[in-house]
Amino acid sequence: MHWIDPRRSIRRSLLTLLLPAAIALMVAAWIVHGLLLERMARGFVEDRLQDEVAFLEHQLRQSGPDEIRNIAEGDYFEEVFHHAFALLIGSQVHSSPAQWSRVLEPLLSEAETGFVHRTDPRPEDSIADFLAYRKALTLNGETVVIVVAEDLGHLQQSQQELHLWTAVVSAILLVLLILAIWLAIRLSLSSVNRIQQGLTSLQTGAINRLDVDAPAEFQPLISQLNQLLDTLDQRLSRSRDALANLSHSVKTPVSAIRQVLEDDTRALDPEMRQQLAQRLSDIDRQLESEMRRSRFAGPQAGKAAKPISQARDLLWMLGRLYPEKNFELETDLGPETRWPIEEHDLNEILGNLVDNAGKWARKSAELSLNESAEQLIIKVEDDGPGVSANALPTLGTRGVRLDEQTPGHGLGLAIAREITDRYGGNLSFSIGTRGGLRVTVSMPRGSRP
């Protein structure tokens, strides 16, 4: 409904939709009631007219010629019938009441059976609208025509009065319905006020997380807000930890280097230069590590990555870095598939795992990307020398390296584990089918920090 402004008040939008709908439905019900009432009244009148004609026919057929004339000339019809009537027996015409004679006796000239509806037969007639039932039969060789009629004007007046009372009752019900709609909207949106109060308490520091008893429709919103708060707290904690780590790790080497440089009584021999270079290398490595950790975003609402595109770019780059080795991608995902992971975080996971596999692989390394209804699965396997079963638990520990001959700082797998943990996932190590190391990362689709 493009004519509804989404920025407008929810209460006003609901009232704008529901009130006209309630009024339209009530008016439609009132119109249908009028049509059904008229149809039912017409059917009721027709049934009564047919029943009285059938009753009179039965009486006439049970009577002899003399009795028929006595019935026609007496007051039998006035005592038995509840409607106006006209009767033609042979050449004799009988009708009652007298004011109906003018409109009913002309109907006796036709010998057709059925209903006759006349409206405004003559302007001067008091009977402006009536319904009659006419039946022609033969008794004892004589033609008999029976006409029974009812004034529809009185019936329509009663219908209009009933219909008017129905309109009054409908108006009262409509007012009650409007009040019920307004009350229902007010009660339903009271949870919004509670959320607003919770946000105010959150802003003032009275609470640190939203814990509002809200309807199910608002629970995802509250969860996302709490997740955002968790993410911000984690970033603040990471920043503080990074500063503390840098302060602790860099302070001592910097002080030592400064002392050496400020000591003008001592020459810088090659051994001292090598020690200074080593100290600077340690500082650089620590800075790089902390800077990489500070870039971890963690799960965020609205952030998603295309794993296939990123994996292909990464494998192409590593193929140039390790031209003697083959990098393969195995997946059933489409190129437009999106995962709820921040792009930089996914690059860090894939880059560290595949780069580690590329270092140790003899000829090939394989990256596998798959997903299920609940999990996102990343597997990286190489055909290298592998790791002993006893050493598998130590993998992914920051700074731990099982082979000092290969360049690196022992941070890649640790970084991948840290990012996986932030998404509520799991990183595990095992021996692959090719004899090398297999790394499996599984993260929930609805990641939580």
Distance set, CA 199 to CA 204, 213, 225, 226 (Å): 9, 13, 10, 11
From the list 130, 174, 185, the residue with the least C-alpha distance to 156 is 130
74 is in which domain, residue-wise? Answer: 13-157
Count of CB atoms within 10 A of residue 385's CB? 13
Given a contact cutoff of 8 angstroms between Cβ atoms, the answer to whether 377 and 390 are in contact is no
Please name every residue paired with 135 in a beta bridge, in sequence order, or none if there are none.
Answer: 146
- CA dist., res. 346 & res. 44, Å (int): 79
What is the structure's pLDDT at 69?
Answer: 58
Q: Residue 389 belongs to a domain with what CATH number?
A: 3.30.565.10
Q: What is the pLDDT along the chain (449 residues), one digit of tens a residue?
A: 455 555 566 777 777 778 888 888 888 888 888 888 888 888 888 888 888 888 888 877 777 666 555 555 545 555 555 678 788 877 778 777 777 878 888 888 877 888 888 876 554 556 778 888 898 888 777 788 888 888 887 777 777 888 788 888 888 888 888 888 888 878 877 777 777 787 787 777 777 777 767 777 777 777 888 877 887 777 777 676 666 666 655 665 666 666 666 666 666 677 767 766 766 776 666 666 566 555 555 555 556 788 999 899 889 888 888 889 999 999 998 888 888 888 888 888 888 899 888 888 989 999 999 998 888 999 999 988 888 777 777 776 655 544 444 444 356 788 888 888 888 889 988 888 888 889 999 988 764 44
What is the structure's pLDDT at 270?
Answer: 74
Any domain includes 183: no
Whether residue 105 sits in one domain with residue 27:
yes
What is the structure's pLDDT at 256?
Answer: 63
Whether residue 373 sits in one domain with residue 271:
no
Q: How many domains does the chain have?
A: 3
Angle, helix 219-262 to helix 270-294, in steps of 10 degrees: 170
At which of 157, 181, 202 does a domain end? 157
At which of 294, 316, 343 does a domain end? 294
Q: Residue 132 belongs to a domain with what CATH number?
A: 3.30.450
User: Would the pTM of this model clear 0.75, i.e. be above it?
Assistant: no
Any domain includes 243: yes
What is the structure's pLDDT at 414?
Answer: 80
Please write down the HEC assignment for all residues of 157-212: HHHHHHHHHHHHHHHHHHHHHHHHHHHHHHHHCHHHHHHHHHHHHHHHCCCCCCCC
Whether residue 242 sits in one domain with residue 378:
no
Any domain includes 165: no
Torsion, CA 35, CA 40, CA 45, CA 47, rounded to 10: 140
Given a contact cutoff of 8 angstroms between Cβ atoms, the answer to whether 426 and 277 are in contact is no
Whether residue 313 sits in one domain with residue 285:
no
What is the structure's pLDDT at 267?
Answer: 66
